Amino acid sequence: MAIPNKGRLNERSIELITKAGINLGDDWGRKLNIKVPDLDLEVFFVRAQDIPIFIDSGAVDFGITGQDVTAEAGKELKNVLNLRFGQCRLSIAAPEESAIARTGKMEDGIRVATSFPYLTRKYFEDRGISAEIVFVQGAAEIMPQLGVSDAISDLVATGSTLRMNRLKEIDTVIESEASVFTTQKVLDDPDKKDRIGEIVDAIRSVLDADGRKYVMADVQKSRLKDVERIIPGIGGPTVVNIAGNDDWVAVQAVISGDDSYRVVSDLKKIGAKGILTMPIERLVE
């Protein structure tokens, strides 16, 4: 398995796989690869841009990287799980005072600075526009001011960097987020498919637990209808008898973290006792 060794995707990738139960040990930050004996798994820490190439070549079986860099690599990979982070878009932008920004029209001969030459060239080719692609390693936003390009094709998350550099978005080339990728060849191997599936399911359980809380409380049996209204949970709250007390039951449910204040408050109003809320690390539905 390959995961990004730095950059915008690194921290959340590490968090997901460790919460999923993949133990990277104490010194993972100082090694380029970690062996996880319990899972017969080896994790490699490499550049996000290189991961699609390593997966396509068979150097690794699967990995986490952005949809943007995967599309830029031009490899036929299989997306097996969207990870709900690293959301951004590759956009065409031009100086606010330019004719391109005013009209949104791009013509033959336009010069576009980008670190995504493949996707950018394809974008203009698909629209029948002859564009000069100027490859840059970074800081594309400054290129129009330097006279290097008329526009840029760059990753945008909030758009604040574009606004700071007085650039206006013209169009979106591709939407992107972090995902788990593999190849059809790997999926055709039953053993690898099953093992990767187990890891993907474990990561999915972490994603499904995000923003959820586990709530427990003791309530009178006569108020169970109120409890069902207050905490519907996943398929309704679980109700457990309390030993030695026929009039009270323990109720348990998974709720949205955004609802926790309301749920606790409403449970108190119906006389619930011993109310407890806890974060959830994994949730298998």
Fold of 2-86+177-209: D-Maltodextrin-Binding Protein; domain 2 (3.40.190)
Half-sphere exposure of 232 (CA within 13 A, CB side): 4
pLDDT at 233: 60
Each residue's pLDDT tens digit, 140-177: 999 999 999 999 999 999 999 999 999 999 999 999 99
Q: What is the pTM of this model?
A: 0.87
Each residue's pLDDT tens digit, 201-217: 999 999 999 989 999 99
Q: Mention the CATH class of domain 212-279.
A: alpha beta
Does 88-175 match 212-279 in CATH topology?
A: no
Helices (H), the chain: 10-19, 51-57, 67-73, 99-103, 117-126, 160-164, 184-187, 190-209, 224-230, 260-269
Instruction: Please give the mean pLDDT across all residues of the chain.
Output: 94
Domain ranges for the chain, please list them: 2-86+177-209, 88-175, 212-279
pLDDT at 235: 64
CATH architecture of 88-175: 3-Layer(aba) Sandwich (3.40)
Each residue's pLDDT tens digit, 78-136: 999 999 999 999 999 999 999 999 999 999 999 999 999 999 999 999 999 999 999 99
Distance of alpha carbon 67 from alpha carbon 64, whole angstroms:
9
pLDDT at 26: 77
Q: List the structure tokens of 80.
A: 């097996």
- Please give the distance of CA 285 from its chain centroid, rounded to a whole number: 19
